Amino acid sequence: MSAPADIAAPAEGEPRKPPPVRVLVSVLAAVLLAAAPLFLAPYAISTLTRMLVFGLLAASLALLVGVSGLPSLGHAAYFGAGAYAAGWFAQNVSAQAPLSLLVAAFTGGFVAAATGWIAVRARGVFFLMLTLAIGEIVHQVADSWESVTGGSNGLYGIPATEVGGAAITNVGVLHWYVLAAFGGGFAVLWAVKASPFGAALRGIHDNEPRMRSIGYPTSLYKYAVFVVAGTVAGLAGGLLAAQQRLVTPADLGFTTAALALLAVIIGGARSLWGACLGAALVIFVRDSIGPSLDGHGPLLLGVVFILVVYLMPNGVAGIRIGRGKGGGKP
């Protein structure tokens, strides 16, 4: 997929070199995440680890929604496929790190490749509904293939991830393992977004007919990014299996896909790190605040969503650090 010379000049939304303040904030955030197990209680560490897992899923979806203009309601299918593959592999082959994560990423990418060639030919609301249908089909497969997935009971009894023959049972060590994998997956997404390929995707997002007229195979570009996003979502699913050691059909159902899309909108569709912040907020409301609201956690999420849409149209990422106007761009 070679780029025609016409696109040599950077587009308006193309990522620029991050200012020192943003770099400092990023480094500080990484240090705090790495140091969290040293001063947080086990439950808080587990919640933070779930935020990382869901954040990687949301960031992979942001690559589709904000960068490529492909709003998907079926992205959880690749997340769940990776989780099931990692859990099954750990049970039946090996729980040694990072083999199950590689299997999860490959499975997510494979399922995305098998379904994306159909999905990317649709546009707008038709693409949205087609991805929803794909997600529901994958959900039904997981619910009915009991010999592999455990059916409605889910795949349980997944062994703990092993490093050098020692099982990771400490929540703090598991957090570091998930954080390292999260960093690798996020780096892949960032590299794709910052590349000439990412610039072409932004051009397709803004004006696909024009990009097609100057020689870009837009369907091929959209298919490629669809597979990349599915691969990283599968990696996130592998981290889910490693963390909760249980995978259920709900993990690849509509609710998970809708929450991921909600996280992207809250955080800022054009920002990878904004999607991670949105995911952290969603998990915090769902897992920490929701249980104390007598089942009204979804209502609170709805209120947060409305407030963000009206007060911060570009999401949390619209509040820029170390930069002037241009909110919402990573």
d(CA 144, CA 151): 5
Cβ atoms of residues 119 and 75 within 8 Å: no
Give the per-residue pLDDT at 109: 96
d(CA 266, CA 277): 8
d(CA 312, CA 318): 7
Averaged pLDDT score across all residues of the chain: 87
Q: Tens digit of pLDDT for each residue in 107-128?
A: 999 999 999 998 998 888 899 9
The pair of structure tokens assigned to 89 is 């592999």
d(CA 278, CA 255): 16
Show Cβ contacts of residue 49 under 8 Å, excluding neighbours closer than 6 positions: 171, 174, 175, 178, 179, 243
Give the per-residue pLDDT at 18: 57
Q: Give the residue from 221, 189, 186 showing the smallest Cα distance to 204.
A: 221
Q: Tens digit of pLDDT for each residue in 12-51?
A: 444 455 567 777 888 898 999 999 999 999 999 999 999 9
Is the pLDDT confidence value at 2 over 80? no
Is the pLDDT confidence value at 102 over 80? yes
Is the pLDDT confidence value at 89 over 50? yes
More confident position, 322 or 276: 276
Show Cβ contacts of residue 218 under 8 Å, excluding neighbours closer than 6 positions: 204, 208, 211, 212
Q: Tens digit of pLDDT for each residue in 286-316?
A: 888 877 777 777 888 888 888 888 888 778 7
My answer on whether omega of the bond before 19 falls inside 30° of 0, hence cis, is no
Give the per-residue pLDDT at 320: 58
Is the pLDDT confidence value at 319 over 70? no
The pair of structure tokens assigned to 220 is 């091929």
The pair of structure tokens assigned to 279 is 């995911």
